[in-house]
Amino acid sequence: MIYDDDRFHPTSALDNDELKSLTKTSDFEDPYLYKIKKAYFDNNNIKQYYTLEYYFNGDTGCVIRNAITGIKYPNCFVGTKSEDRFFKTIMPIQNSSSNKPHILFYDNPYDFETHQRVKLSDKTLKRWVDKHNNFNTHLF
């Protein structure tokens, strides 16, 4: 039996039970979690502000993660056909260290609308449904 990932196994050279101080907020944050200030118009056409928190994805080959929950989808990778399973959007980011846009994946466009507080056109919704149905028919 191999205990490569068991850091507490007696033969592990990485057995380190020292307590480490976690004092900075960044010690607890996911590097793929991003927060921005956004605005939307409510039902009374009054401008409202909120903080949008989302999880973005890495480069091609990285496992796809949900923009709202941060959950990673096994066997679904950025840059592959498995992207068609999701509603994908790109957030242009300014003042970011990498200046690369953030790629976001949602289970469906309705999750995107709720999370981003926007309304998509019927044409966009239909195009995604057609693409999603086409993806599902090619699975079998």
Residue 48 lies in a domain: yes
Count of residues in the chain: 140
Residue 7 tokens read as 């850091």
User: Do 24 and 37 contact (CB within 8 A), yes or no?
Assistant: no
**pLDDT given at position 112:** 97
For the chain, 140 residues long, give each residue's pLDDT as a single digit of tens. Answer: 444 444 454 444 444 445 555 555 555 568 889 999 999 888 899 999 999 999 999 889 999 999 999 999 999 999 998 898 999 999 887 665 667 889 999 999 999 999 999 999 999 999 999 888 887 766 54
**pLDDT of amino acid 14:** 46
**Which two tokens mark 3?**
């205990």
Residues contacting residue 121 through CB under 8 Å, at least 6 positions apart: none
Report if residue 34 sits inside a domain.
Answer: yes
Going from the C-alpha of 65 to that of each of 6, 24, 87, the distances in angstroms are 26, 25, 12
Whether the model pTM is above 0.75: no
Please check whether residue 13 lies inside any domain of the structure: no
pLDDT recorded at residue 2: 46
Assess if residue 104 is contained within a domain.
yes
Cα separation, 94 vs 36, whole angstroms: 10
Domain enclosing residue 73, as ranges: 27-137
Number of domains observed in the structure of the chain:
1
Spatial CA neighbour of 68 closest among 110, 99, 37: 110
- Residue 98 located in a structural domain: yes
Residue 70 inside a domain? The answer is yes
Q: Is residue 2 in a domain?
A: no
* pLDDT at residue 21, as a whole number: 55
